[in-house]
Amino acid sequence: MAVFKQLDNAAAVAEQLGCADADAAMQLLGDEATLLHGLTALGWAAAGDYAVVRVAPVLSRFICGHEAPIRSFLHGETPLRDIYCALIVHLGDEGFELDPEQLLVTLRPHERVCHERLLEQLRQLPLRDVVHFLGFGLARGEYEQELADYLVANGLAGEVRLYGCDPYVDFSGSGIEEWTPSAAGEQQFDLILARWVLHHLEPAFRWQAFTPVARHLAPGGCLLILEEGDFRAADERRFADQLMALVLSSIDVINTLTFVAEWHEKSAESADAYYLQHLSADEIAVIESGFGFPFERQIIETGPGVFGQTIFAYRRLSR
């Protein structure tokens, strides 16, 4: 079992919100003004920001209208899936929409810090004439293309060949070459990026889909996993863990339905197909156990606030 840093973001959520138990949480989350202040205190957005002003009222109404199941979830009885599925339907019933461009402004401080940390990892790649770069679950691949352009523009690669592994995307005409672990040949990649995708894969599929991909990392290559969550190794769930899962999943649903609205309707049918579970320390360890090669790992915390991401950077050793 891997030894992890004590990334106890969940405790920070409970402390900053001032919630010691489920009763305190329900009182806070059900009051619009208090919830708005809480989202600001958690570092999701600045006071008066477009997104937080739009999100706080709808979340508050959702919590008040679903008090019994949410309280049950905070006590560890109701599964998280029941809550976020109900939220998706609620957003549809209210006709809730956010402007993607304005939401990007809200998220930009987080994006900027994560981006700079990722660039630091790219600058450590061995110099190569051609860098083979695989995006796992990359959707349209716009961000991966931005990183590829950075490598070339900064003399870190003469050429970057970009590959995509995403069963939901048609890459034709994109300049991205589709690749799967079952593809013929022993293709190896100098860089693999899984950015905000693993928490949307059901746990069994995480191992079946991702670890075979990771095994194609070239010696000296870098594998980057960017996720949010609480990676504190724990023997049991605490109230703080439940509270953090509630807050993160709510924001995740709103972000996803805003940025890829064409893939997700706010309906019961769409909610049933939606999956969300942030990774735990044990799950990261299971992923690592399937690599099949020696590696060095660096865990990079980003900010600002508890909505900052965690980057797991792996270097495949040559020995």
Contact indicator for 42, 17 with CB cutoff of 8 Å: yes
What lies within 8 Å, CB to CB, of 184 at 6+ separation is: none
pLDDT given at position 264? 62
**Dist CA 243 CA 35 (whole Å):** 13
pLDDT given at position 301? 80
**44: DSSP letter:** S
Domain spans in the chain, listed from the N-terminal domain onward: 9-105+235-273, 107-229+280-316
Task: For residue 252, report the phi and psi dihedrals to the nearest 5 degrees.
Answer: -60, -45
The count of other CB atoms within 10 Å of the CB of residue 222 is: 24
pLDDT in tens, 147-182: 999 999 999 999 999 999 987 788 888 889 999 887
- Is residue 304 reached through a cis peptide bond, with omega within 30 degrees of 0 on the bond before it? yes
pLDDT in tens, 241-262: 888 888 889 988 998 888 876 6
pLDDT in tens, 176-200: 999 988 765 688 999 999 998 888 8
Question: Average pLDDT for residues 58-75, to the nearest whole number?
Answer: 94
Give the helix ranges, DSSP H, for 1-76: 9-17, 22-29, 32-41, 50-65, 67-74
Torsion of the alpha carbons at 83, 247, 273 and 75, rounded to the nearest 10: -30
* Whole-structure pTM value: 0.89
**Dist CA 302 CA 257 (whole Å):** 24
**Dist CA 289 CA 143 (whole Å):** 28
Q: What is the mean pLDDT of the chain?
A: 85
Q: What's the CATH number of domain 107-229+280-316, 1.10.8.640, 1.10.260.40, 3.40.50.150, 3.30.70.20?
A: 3.40.50.150
Contact indicator for 174, 145 with CB cutoff of 8 Å: no
Residue holding tokens 């690592």? 288
Residue 233 clears pLDDT 80, i.e. is over it: no
pLDDT given at position 304? 53
